[in-house]
Structure 1
Amino acid sequence: MFRGIKWKKILKLSAYGGAGVGLISSLHANNYDVTSVGIVRFANAAKAVLDISVYYKKNLYKTEVKLMDQESEEYLKLKSEVHQWGAERLLKLCCLNKGVFIKVGQHIGALDYLLPVEYVNTMKVLHSKAPKSSLKDVYTVLRQDLGKEPEEIFKSIDPEPLGTASLAQVHKAVLHDGRTVAVKVQHASVRGNSIVDLKTMEFLVSIVSRLFPDFRFEWLVKETKRNIPLELDFHNEGKNAEKADRILVHFPWLFVPKIYWNLTTPRVLTMEFVEGGQINDVEYIEKSKINKVQLSSRLGDMYSEMIFKHGFVHADPHPGNILVQACNNDFRIILLDHGLYAELEPKFRRQYARLWLSIMNFDMPAIKQVANDLGVGDLYWLLSCMVTGRTWESISGAGGITKSKPGADEKKVFQQRIPQFLPHINAVLSRVDRQMLLLFKTNDLLRGIEHTLKTHGRRAALLTMAARCVQAEYSEQRREALGTLQRNAIIICEVWTLFKLKIWYLMLSITDILGFA
């Protein structure tokens, strides 16, 4: 008996000792940052979720509030205040835990048309003001990954980062041969924390989903789990950049910075340095006399080419990742941050093209059929709204979305309705083909850019995408044609449809010039 007790004590002490050594090792590896320890990060997240859950339960889900008129000004004001409190508490958690939590917060801040406006607007700050690593931490990663002292490689490194993101930050540097480069350095603790963070999120989201059925975000955790390993490998990002440059080389106005592979590792990415203004920097664009409608049109052309022709889509087009640079009475678009791409299968690309075409023509049987093929069935109307960012009234009205201009308040109306349809939106996000999820994010970010540039009324990007849809679908039909006669008929249909789109665009341009509504 004594011997058994003794061994139990030894095992217990060994376990405690091992845990202590593990804790000290973890702290040492992360410069004694307590928030890098898994159990601390879990506790931070659990506390935030508990706080938000209790606040909702006390203020929005109590019996007397549920009995209120759901459309009354009093109820809507209360709901907005509760959402705002929850969003600010979630932002605090993201800034505290950093890393993957920042990435998820940025994703939330990109879903303008899919989530309550309070969460979207609060999280948008993370696109440009993510917490940064110290220069000491940056030098530690450079030393570990490049195998030399930073001073041996770089003549100088600007101590202040050009930009800070969830997983890394970028510094301007000069090589000893005089070349100016941009060095992207991964935050030191991100890779080690990501596994614990993802498991934490998965666990807590499952709890929240049981407590509040309206907030089912399992799809967001699944996508993050799938994408984070790709984004943490800068070799993958470098390859994506070169592939994007290769497939879009025929656009003379597009520039993708060159990768310096001899100074690139899974945690360090060194690339050509390029200057320019962010694509939502209206002051820079106007000062540089850049045509905003043409800028929107080129964005639409670039993304349509990626979606419909190549199925290789830059899936993180927030303003910090797209620059515009005035040059020789023209301008060029600079595409940065190639860590996350959506790779679309040919079958899905055709379904997506058909969905856009059927929406533009308001072909109800076709809309229902494509929606069913994509997995959302009777929620075809909501899928159409989520893809286009337009209300169902605009889509189903006279002429459909191709002929109707988005009203000044349409985005506001759309966002006001989001809380009402949140369970349905989550149903779409849970059921739809997984390839669609990154396209939702991409579409919303591009629409946000158009709203900032105030070009959404002209729908330059929409009409560019419409033309690409037509070309993609009729190209497939020609390939499947049984003979010359059928092929010629398809060509005539394609030419006629493209001609109608050009006429509609010309009419819009004329009404804008004359100042008509």
Structure 2
Amino acid sequence: MSRYLKITKRIGLIGGIGVAGWALDKYFYYSTIQRNVKTLVTGVIISIDYKLNFNEHSDINALHTRVANLILDLCKNNGGLYIKFGQQIASVPVLPPQYNIFKALFDNAPCVEKKVVERIFLEEFGTLAQNIYEDFDYEAIASASIAQVHKAKLKDGTVVAVKVQKPEIQKQIYWDMICYRVVIYALEKLFDLPLYWSADYIEFHLRQETDFINEAKNAEICQHHINQTDLKKYVHVPKVYHEYSTKRVMTTEWIDGFSLAKKQELVDNNISLPFVMDTIVKVFADQIFRVGFVHCDPHPGNILVRKTNGAPQVVLLDHGLYVRCTPKFVDEYATFWKSLFSLDIDASSRIAKSWGIEDLNVIATATLARPWRAGKPIHSTKTTITDLFEAQKNSKNRLSKFLKNTESLPKELIFVGRNLNCVRANNKMLGSPVNRINIMANCAAENAGLKWQTSGNTFRGEEYGLWNHLKSGFSKLMFQTTLAMISLSFKITQIFQYLGKLISGKGSGFEDVMDSNMRRNLESMFPGMNINESAFDG
């Protein structure tokens, strides 16, 4: 009897320790251990599934569906930074169409309740919000993966927006980053794809995004650079109130405006969509090609539009995620854009190779967010299951080759590419009111210097003699001709878009047409991907 009693006590002790550990993890560490165990288990399941079923005898589409659903469920259940990871997956257009379900993660995240917000204020300020502000609305007006926003009023009556970080983020981020590294390292080894090279860079920027003191500095630097341009009257960054801000709470100027996502509201209030979108493209082109300090999350929810003195003004929000580009990268990237439009293949290839990239078609298409191909016209064909497997295997090999020399690849491309994709998606959402490509190309050319022949030993700044002057003139002519042809295509598309709306109520804009062409282009470069219609919606 004593033996059974001992066994019972041991079971009870183990159970008690388990329950205590579970409670400690759940209530003090916001389920950090449980979340990471789920991640590792999911990773093992996915790896085994791919190893066993990624072959010509299996249903590849069913495999992608299973894996996409597993990862999406993991992101939803774990929340926090996992929502960010899932949003990154949603932004990768060359993934199979089954991964488009990740766009659901762009919806508003759940808000935390009043007592949680009170606790954060006590930890950050040593007092409650109502003792800091004249008035504070505990019901959040917006919520995202990392923070939520409340409306408040300072003691002097100034209306402000208060961004409050969700409490679990600081507890979870350390282990989330470790788990993230483990998963991508395992995927790299299992599937022979270079993925781990970007881990340090991505982790650094995600950590920066959770520091509101850093975000406040970013906002002020952004406004400083805008003030150096002709856009200063038309672009605004909300003022930060530092005395009411900490690492986890940030108080800024309240802005009454229309969300960029509310197209009909903009139209109803006589706000010019071409003017707004032209301003947006120019301000981010200036950041990329001149300043080298780039806002990396300009999705519609982070852009407001208001009227000041009768003219539209763009208001940029959420300055947590920025990338600082080196002067060398800014110079090379502007020159790369210019060389693509001036048909200087030698220069664009040389720059790509200096970045460790052999596949010019892929990097050019990704850079411009439009089809670019130095070879033959694109054709698409239907494939069998066996063909699909072989095609996707070849796509993986091409991607592996594309990222072969990761030591030379500028890591700035990761987040600059995110900016470009968001800007393109914003233009598409508003019906393509501006020729984004030409605006960006002109800004790149302006900041890359006046010398047009760039295929020599340096990018710019030296004289090359009569022959090179002739080549320089030809490059400039090609640049202007290329942009003129794109402008003509843009105008023709606008005419058909207008006629389509008159006849059927629908009309495809310039970005829609380019998306269709780019989809076919990417499918030809990454065969078997069957990229979905909405893959480039951002």
CA distance in 1: counterparts of 2:487 and 2:368, whole angstroms = 21
CA distance in 2: counterparts of 1:151 and 1:187, whole angstroms = 19
CA distance in 2: counterparts of 1:142 and 1:198, whole angstroms = 26
Where in structure 2 are the equivalents of 1:77-116 lying within 5 Å?
78-111=59-92, 113-116=93-96
CA distance in 2: counterparts of 1:184 and 1:259, whole angstroms = 11
CA distance in 2: counterparts of 1:282 and 1:117, whole angstroms = 27
Does residue 288 (structure 1) correspond to residue 269 (structure 2)? The answer is: yes
Deviation of 1:314 (Å): 0.6
Per-residue displacement from partner, 1:132-171 (whole Å, max 9, x unpaired)? Answer: 3223222211121022111111233333323222221111
CA distance in 2: counterparts of 1:166 and 1:442, whole angstroms = 19
Q: Answer yes or no: is the 8 Å Cα contact 1:116–1:419 preserved in 2.
A: no
The one-letter amino acid paired with 2:125 is: L
Which residue number in structure 2 is paired with residue 154 of structure 1? 133
Q: Answer yes or no: is the 8 Å Cα contact 2:451–2:461 preserved in 1.
A: yes
Identity of aligned residues (%): 26
* Residues 346, 17 of structure 1: alpha-carbon distance in 2 compared, 3 angstrom cutoff: farther
Q: Answer yes or no: is the 8 Å Cα contact 2:147–2:164 preserved in 1.
A: yes
Per-residue displacement from partner, 1:1-47 (whole Å, max 9, x unpaired)? Answer: xxxxxxxxxxxxxxx999999876655545xx4x23xx212111122
Q: Answer yes or no: is the 8 Å Cα contact 1:172–1:181 preserved in 2.
A: yes
Question: What SS class does the counterpart of residue 52 from structure 1 fall into?
Answer: helix
Structure 1 residue runs without a partner (length 5+): 1-15, 66-77, 399-416
Which residue number in structure 1 is paired with residue 335 of structure 2? 354
* Residues 418, 330 of structure 1: alpha-carbon distance in 2 compared, 3 angstrom cutoff: farther
CA distance in 1: counterparts of 2:140 and 2:255, whole angstroms = 14
Which residue number in structure 2 is paired with residue 386 of structure 1? 366
Which residue number in structure 1 is paired with residue 443 of structure 2? 468
CA distance in 1: counterparts of 2:270 and 2:397, whole angstroms = 45
CA distance in 2: counterparts of 1:374 and 1:87, whole angstroms = 31
Question: What SS class does the counterpart of residue 270 from structure 2 fall into?
Answer: coil
Per the normalisation by structure 2, the TM-score is 0.75
Q: Which of the two has greater helix per residue?
A: 1
Does residue 53 (structure 1) correspond to residue 47 (structure 2)? The answer is: yes
Question: What SS class does the counterpart of residue 480 from structure 1 fall into?
Answer: coil
Deviation of 1:423 (Å): 4.6
Where in structure 2 are the equivalents of 1:281-320 lying within 5 Å?
281-320=262-301
Deviation of 1:328 (Å): 4.8
Q: Answer yes or no: is the 8 Å Cα contact 1:128–1:320 preserved in 2.
A: no
Where in structure 2 are the equivalents of 1:372-411 lying within 5 Å?
372-376=353-357, 378-393=358-373
Which residue number in structure 1 is paired with residue 186 of structure 2? 207
CA distance in 2: counterparts of 1:362 and 1:490, whole angstroms = 11
Deviation of 1:510 (Å): 4.9
CA distance in 2: counterparts of 1:281 and 1:167, whole angstroms = 23
CA distance in 2: counterparts of 1:278 and 1:88, whole angstroms = 31
Between 261-270 and 100-109, the greater mean CA deviation after superposition: 100-109
Question: What SS class does the counterpart of residue 323 from structure 1 fall into?
Answer: strand
CA distance in 1: counterparts of 2:312 and 2:278, whole angstroms = 13
CA distance in 1: counterparts of 2:222 and 2:255, whole angstroms = 17
Does residue 183 (structure 1) correspond to residue 176 (structure 2)? The answer is: no
Aligned residues: CA RMSD: 3.7
* Residues 279, 491 of structure 1: alpha-carbon distance in 2 compared, 3 angstrom cutoff: farther
Does residue 145 (structure 1) correspond to residue 124 (structure 2)? The answer is: yes
Which residue number in structure 2 is paired with residue 424 of structure 1? 398
Per the normalisation by structure 1, the TM-score is 0.78
Does residue 64 (structure 1) correspond to residue 57 (structure 2)? The answer is: yes
Which residue number in structure 2 is paired with residue 195 of structure 1? 174
CA distance in 2: counterparts of 1:352 and 1:363, whole angstroms = 14
Q: Answer yes or no: is the 8 Å Cα contact 2:177–2:203 preserved in 1.
A: yes
Per-residue displacement from partner, 1:304-323 (whole Å, max 9, x unpaired)? Answer: 11111111111111222122
CA distance in 1: counterparts of 2:137 and 2:262, whole angstroms = 23
Does residue 243 (structure 1) correspond to residue 221 (structure 2)? The answer is: yes
Question: What SS class does the counterpart of residue 449 from structure 2 fall into?
Answer: helix
Which residue number in structure 2 is paired with residue 41 of structure 1? 35
The one-letter amino acid paired with 1:389 is: A
* Residues 459, 427 of structure 1: alpha-carbon distance in 2 compared, 3 angstrom cutoff: farther
CA distance in 2: counterparts of 1:148 and 1:490, whole angstroms = 69
Q: Answer yes or no: is the 8 Å Cα contact 1:102–1:126 preserved in 2.
A: yes
* Residues 148, 224 of structure 1: alpha-carbon distance in 2 compared, 3 angstrom cutoff: same
The one-letter amino acid paired with 1:61 is: F
Q: Answer yes or no: is the 8 Å Cα contact 1:470–1:494 preserved in 2.
A: no
Q: Answer yes or no: is the 8 Å Cα contact 1:474–1:494 preserved in 2.
A: no
CA distance in 1: counterparts of 2:336 and 2:306, whole angstroms = 34
Q: Answer yes or no: is the 8 Å Cα contact 1:240–1:338 preserved in 2.
A: yes
How many residues align structurally? 460
Deviation of 1:269 (Å): 0.8
Per-residue displacement from partner, 1:86-115 (whole Å, max 9, x unpaired)? Answer: 22321221122222212211222233x343
Per-residue displacement from partner, 1:263-322 (whole Å, max 9, x unpaired)? Answer: 111111110111223323222222223333333222211111111111111111122212
Q: Answer yes or no: is the 8 Å Cα contact 1:181–1:270 preserved in 2.
A: yes
Per-residue displacement from partner, 1:221-278 (whole Å, max 9, x unpaired)? Answer: 4433121221121111101100100110241110100000001111111101112233
Question: What SS class does the counterpart of residue 386 from structure 1 fall into?
Answer: helix
CA distance in 2: counterparts of 1:279 and 1:202, whole angstroms = 35
* Residues 499, 52 of structure 1: alpha-carbon distance in 2 compared, 3 angstrom cutoff: closer
* Residues 85, 231 of structure 1: alpha-carbon distance in 2 compared, 3 angstrom cutoff: same
Question: What SS class does the counterpart of residue 134 from structure 2 fall into?
Answer: strand
